[in-house]
Amino acid sequence: MQFVSTRGQAPILGFSDAILAGLAADGGLYVPREWPQFTAAEIAAFAGKRYPDVAFAIISRFVGDDIGADALKSIIDGAYSPFRHVSVAPLNELSPNHFLLELFHGPTLAFKDVAMQFLSRVMDHILSERGLRATIVGATSGDTGSAAIEAFRGRDTTDIFILHPQGRTSPVQRLQMTTVLDANVHNIALEGTFDDCQNSVKAMFNNHQFRDNVRLSGVNSINWGRIVAQIVYYFTAAVSLGSPSRRVSFTVPTGNFGDIFAGYAAKRMGLPIDRLVIATNANDILARTLKNGRYEMAGVHPTISPSMDIEISSNFERLLFEASGRDAKAVLAMMNSLKQSSGFALPENTIAAIRADFAAATSDEAATKSVIASIFRENGYTLDPHTAVGVQVAQRLRDPMVPMITLATAHPAKFPAAVKEAMGVEPSLPLWLADLHQRPERLSVLANDQKAVEDFIATRTRV
Ligand SMILES: Cc1ncc(COP(=O)(O)O)c(C=O)c1O
Ligand SMILES: N[C@@H](CCOP(=O)(O)O)C(=O)O
């Protein structure tokens, strides 16, 4: 399997090189040259299989000959062994024909673990085979960082540097990152927003001298290795509700568009998905784009779902590439316009293609709190604020005749203050994290200054 850049000017790479590259050399994102196809019979055969076995069947189609079958199987088995639910990603019925796909049973209590536990092992395998070390960077609004740090801690092949926006994560999210004291882990609290952190990471990749000197690699969802692992749970969830004989829809609380893009990929691979619903918080740039056909930045506001306080939605570029008929020139023009004038208009055929697969709506702060309270009252179930955005939107947009699966992206205990304010009861952390607030922290506060960040990394990496 080969991978091409959404901007059309970077080398075409195999799976392992695309994973190590993270961002393409032309600033674009790697996507598979063609979508592997699964027949109805192959999809039906996933029923009753163990999660790691379905993951192997799907992921191996993208890996091709780059990694041997036995090694890949053991990477995948290792990735899902730390999950504390036997199904890895179980479904829970919230109301008739509306299901929650619980993705928070991994070590850091968010859906990021599903991909990050795979990515760290696959990178470690590729680097060890090549006798190399790499410097991993990541930008986080809270969950990617903790999942990445947990997955990469203590590994000999990598040093990891995670940038989070100072004071804009929940305290639990921050502590999950800053209390990991392994020598290869570095936390940077940047004086800025998540978008500043993400811009800084992308600028490091675009500084080719720095990128090559420190052998830079990324763990945000710009890395195809994240998306490929997230495709799997769309298949397992749909199959357990009767796919491929039955069409299902998904609602996905969305920020950087990685999670819902994985759903789109599943559809392109043959999974009969009726609708993919983008649920945004008050930072509603994606919902506005679907409505107006213009991607228009308007400033980020802090919300009770901080992991979705994002305006530069990285993976939307992958969708633009697909929806424009893989027109890399058009994508480049849109991305240049975003950089220069904070917005761009989508060509008619592109927005029409997007509207054929996706719907979108926003849940504001009051509506999100109200759905946390009502689901607790009526179902005795505690939603985290990101999942609540999804549930609120799904309740409004769903077709009662089509099963709707809302992605439950985080455990409520990651956001105790917001949940308590909404429903009056504070969710508790699981036992293995119960002493989190007593653990010592280590982090470095840096100004939003690209040179300072790059110097910090260059003087600490062991590459
Ligand atoms: C808990 C949670 N829900 C939803 C999202 C949004 O996911 P994505 O950025 O893939 O759209 C994030 C962050 O990415 C998150 O941490
Ligand atoms: N919400 C994310 C933001 C980064 O998203 P990613 O999926 O591109 O890594 C976070 O929790 O950090």
pLDDT in tens, 33-45: 999 999 999 999 9
Residue 380 has a pLDDT of 96
- Tell me the average pLDDT across 232-244: 98
Residue 49 has a pLDDT of 98
Residue 141 Cβ inside 6 Å of ligand 2? The answer reads yes
Contact 301, 309 (CB under 8 A): yes
202 noted as active-site residue = no
With cut-offs at 50, 70 and 90, classify the pLDDT of residue 214.
Answer: very high
**Interface pTM (ipTM) of the complex?**
0.99
Give the atom of ligand 1 at the shortest distance from the alpha carbon of 254: 11
- Tell me the average pLDDT across 286-294: 98
Q: How far is the CA of 85 from the centre of ligand 1 (A)?
A: 21
Residue 309 Cβ inside 6 Å of ligand 1? The answer reads no
- Residue type present at position 10: A
Residue 76 Cβ inside 6 Å of ligand 1? The answer reads no
Contact 234, 250 (CB under 8 A): yes
Say which ligand is closest to the CA of 409: 1
With cut-offs at 50, 70 and 90, classify the pLDDT of residue 188.
Answer: very high
Specify the DSSP class assigned to residue 430.
P
What is the distance between the alpha carbons of residues 310 and 405, in angstroms, rounded to a whole number? 23
With cut-offs at 50, 70 and 90, classify the pLDDT of residue 243.
Answer: very high
- Tell me the average pLDDT across 20-35: 96
Beta-bridge partners for 95: 98
Q: At a CB cut-off of 8 Å and minimum separation 6, what does 92 contact?
A: 99, 100, 102, 381, 408
The average confidence (pLDDT) of the chain is: 97
Say which ligand is closest to the CA of 144: 2
Q: What angle do CA 328, 331, 333 make, to 5 degrees?
A: 110
Residue 173 Cβ inside 6 Å of ligand 1? The answer reads no
Beta-bridge partners for 127: none
Q: How far is the CA of 253 from the centre of ligand 1 (A)?
A: 7
Convert the pLDDT of each residue in 158-175 to its tens digit: 999 999 999 999 999 999
- Tell me the average pLDDT across 305-309: 94
Say which ligand is closest to the CA of 115: 2
The DSSP code sequence of 180-211 is ---TTEEEEEESS-HHHHHHHHHHHHH-HHHH
Q: How far is the CA of 254 from the centre of ligand 1 (A)?
A: 6
The DSSP code sequence of 236-272 is HHHHHTTTTTS-EEEEEE-SSSHHHHHHHHHHHTT--
Say how many residues make up the chain. Answer: 463
Q: How far is the CA of 28 from the centre of ligand 2 (A)?
A: 17
Instruction: Identify the active-site residue in 49, 73, 112, 369.
Output: 112
